[in-house]
């Protein structure tokens, strides 16, 4: 979709864009001294390599480099730079680690990339209150390393070592969400720089009550706004006690239905399961090859239980449920090394999929449906993949009803591109027809803007559009993303 849309629009827009970019380029040249006066010579880069690096994420969306990359060191510098951009109508694109999957960092209209990597301090850790505030350069792994000796951790884990403010911006989640929630549920406060340089704190400066009903929920308006409403310069996060004991297990099933039925029954039983991940036969085969494993090549669940030693004994009775559904005996991963190997294999699913077809690229679909719809949508989707000769191993956070087809495709084969494009649209519409969403955790970015309209309906989109126009009337914040 992302590629075809560009082609369709390209001829119409070419002459306008050339003119626009030429004009904007000269504006950028004119403001460089101002940028340098804010964040120093080293804080402003026009290097082609740096710009290219900041014009793309991990998706197949083509690189759209910004005109310039700035590296602010504080919120005041972010604000000062934003004011300059605002005055000169230059687009602003916030950049964390570039690990997004929906083309969210491409500079579709050129402009200024704000790389936030130099703001990398962990601030205000409150161990007794289970909260911490971090700057946007802090990644989830860096935070958890920092927390190691405190007995606390931050559980939201999208796989990639993304920045926490970037995860806030895309409403990320991942394997632990079934127990600990997504970024939406785990952010207590944000510091945000608006398009005109105004600095706000969404729950009031320095505030960190565990709950509040004070005014409109600005925090969750910015969570998931993908840089289109403001630049997140601080986030205050909920932390959790590191569980006394952790056990992981792998269980193979005769069918998708059996694996998903087990998932629903485990959740219904009230077991506070921490992770419950589905891999279809193609995915487990790819993981076996890539990570030198030897799991049976059938639909599989990777599970993880967190708790005290004693509560784990009970949780692992979950195996009675899986056995009733024809599941294999659990293969346990009890010590940390074995568990790490297991979850590394799961997190490496992306690379395992890519390795199925060397030289190809990958694109992850991201639909999410009510649990009861999962067997049907996964079975239909697998039939669709086979009928259209597409490689798309399936991995999913089935406890949330969210799964990904990791589409491996040859970007130089237009016929395959077209088949993938049509497949992803069919899959999204299948999810929409089942009361679901086209994106459970990756966001809308560039490629799902049209689907978002189908999903939300014209009136809700109009409300979103009016919110965008209110907060960013010049359409400078990450233009061309989320909304059309």
Pattern 290-309, binding to a copy of itself, x per CB under 8 A? -----------------xx-
Report in angstroms how near the CB of residue 456 gets to a copy of itself at its nearest: 5
Report the alpha-carbon distance of residue 54 to residue 58 in Å, rounded. 11
| Region 426-455 residues binding a copy of itself, contact defined as CB under 8 A | 432, 435-444, 448, 452, 455
Report the alpha-carbon distance of residue 192 to residue 202 in Å, rounded. 7
**What is the distance between the terminal CA atoms of the chain, rounded to a whole angstrom?**
14
Q: Does 381 bind a copy of itself (CB under 8 A)?
A: no
Kindly report the backbone phi and psi dihedral angles of residue 358, in degrees, each rounded to the nearest multiple of 5, phi listed first. Answer: -55, 140
| Region 47-106 residues binding a copy of itself, contact defined as CB under 8 A | none
Report the alpha-carbon distance of residue 297 to residue 124 in Å, rounded. 47
Q: Does 141 bind a copy of itself (CB under 8 A)?
A: no
Report the alpha-carbon distance of residue 438 to residue 444 in Å, rounded. 8
Applying CB under 8 A, among 49, 270, 358, 387 the residue interacting with a copy of itself is 270
Q: Is the distance from CB of 472 to CB of 228 less than 8 angstroms? A: yes
Applying CB under 8 A, among 12, 16, 22, 210 the residue interacting with a copy of itself is 210
Q: Does 461 bind a copy of itself (CB under 8 A)?
A: yes
Pairing assessment for the beta strands 402-409 and 361-364 based on DSSP bridges: antiparallel
Report in angstroms how near the CB of residue 459 gets to a copy of itself at its nearest: 5
Kindly report the backbone phi and psi dihedral angles of residue 433, in degrees, each rounded to the nearest multiple of 5, phi listed first. Answer: -70, -15
| Region 225-254 residues binding a copy of itself, contact defined as CB under 8 A | 225, 229, 240-241, 243-244
Applying CB under 8 A, among 27, 125, 142, 467 the residue interacting with a copy of itself is 467
Q: Does 150 bind a copy of itself (CB under 8 A)?
A: no
Report in angstroms how near the CB of residue 401 gets to a copy of itself at its nearest: 5
Q: Which is nearer to a copy of itself, 94 or 436 (CB)?
A: 436
- Which of these segments, 29-37, 180-188, 348-356, 403-411, binds a copy of itself (CB under 8 A)? 180-188
Instruction: Name 195's Cβ contacts closer than 8 Å, sequence gap at least 6.
Output: 82, 86, 92, 230, 471, 472, 473, 474, 476, 477
Instruction: Name 227's Cβ contacts closer than 8 Å, sequence gap at least 6.
Output: 93, 94, 104, 105, 169, 477, 478, 481
Report the alpha-carbon distance of residue 197 to residue 202 in Å, rounded. 15
Pattern 314-333, binding to a copy of itself, x per CB under 8 A? x-------------------
Q: Does 276 bind a copy of itself (CB under 8 A)?
A: no
């Amino acid at each position: 979709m992302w590629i075809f849309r560009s082609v369709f629009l390209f001829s119409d827009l070419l002459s306008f864009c050339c003119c626009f970019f030429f004009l904007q380029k000269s504006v950028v040249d004119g403001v460089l001294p101002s940028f340098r006066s804010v964040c120093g010579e080293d804080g402003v880069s026009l290097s082609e390599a740096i710009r290219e690096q900041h014009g793309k994420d991990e998706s197949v969306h083509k690189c759209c480099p910004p005109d310039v990359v700035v590296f602010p060191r504080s919120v005041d510098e972010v604000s000062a730079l934003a004011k300059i951009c605002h005055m000169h109508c230059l687009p602003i694109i916030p950049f964390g680690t570039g690990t997004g999957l929906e083309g969210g960092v491409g500079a579709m209209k050129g402009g200024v990339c704000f790389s936030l990597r130099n703001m990398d301090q962990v601030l205000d850790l409150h161990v007794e209150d289970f909260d911490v505030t971090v700057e946007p350069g802090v990644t989830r792994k860096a935070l958890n390393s920092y927390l190691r000796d405190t007995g606390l951790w931050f559980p939201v884990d999208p796989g990639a070592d993304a920045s926490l403010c970037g995860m806030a911006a895309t409403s990320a989640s991942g394997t632990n969400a079934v127990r600990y929630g997504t970024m939406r549920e785990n952010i207590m406060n944000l510091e945000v720089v608006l398009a005109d340089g105004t600095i706000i704190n969404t729950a009031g400066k320095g505030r960190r009550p565990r709950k509040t009903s004070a005014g409109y929920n600005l925090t969750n308006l910015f969570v998931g706004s993908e840089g289109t409403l403001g630049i997140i310069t601080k986030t205050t996060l909920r932390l959790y006690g590191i569980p006394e004991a952790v056990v992981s297990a792998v269980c193979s099933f005769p069918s998708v239905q059996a694996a998903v039925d087990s998932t629903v029954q485990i959740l219904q039983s009230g077991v506070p399961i921490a992770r419950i991940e589905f891999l279809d036969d193609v995915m487990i085969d790819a993981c076996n090859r890539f990570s030198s494993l030897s799991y049976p090549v059938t639909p599989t669940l990777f599970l993880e239980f967190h708790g005290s030693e004693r509560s784990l004994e009970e949780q692992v009775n979950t195996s009675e449920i899986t056995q009733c559904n024809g599941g294999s005996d659990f293969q346990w991963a009890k010590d940390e090394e074995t568990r790490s190997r297991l979850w590394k294999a799961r997190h490496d699913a992306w690379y395992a999929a890519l390795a199925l077809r060397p030289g190809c690229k990958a694109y992850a679909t991201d639909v999410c449906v009510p649990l009861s719809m999962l067997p049907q949508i996964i079975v239909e989707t697998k039939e669709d993949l086979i009928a259209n000769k597409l490689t798309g191993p399936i991995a999913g956070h089935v406890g949330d009803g969210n799964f990904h087809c990791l589409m491996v495709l040859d970007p130089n084969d237009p016929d395959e591109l077209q088949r993938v494009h049509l497949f992803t649209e069919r899959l999204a519409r299948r999810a929409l027809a089942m009361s679901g969403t086209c994106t459970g955790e990756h966001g809308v970015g560039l490629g799902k803007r049209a689907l978002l309209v189908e999903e939300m309906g014209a009136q809700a989109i109009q409300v979103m559009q009016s919110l965008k126009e209110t907060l960013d009337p010049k359409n400078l914040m990450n233009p061309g993303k989320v909304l059309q």
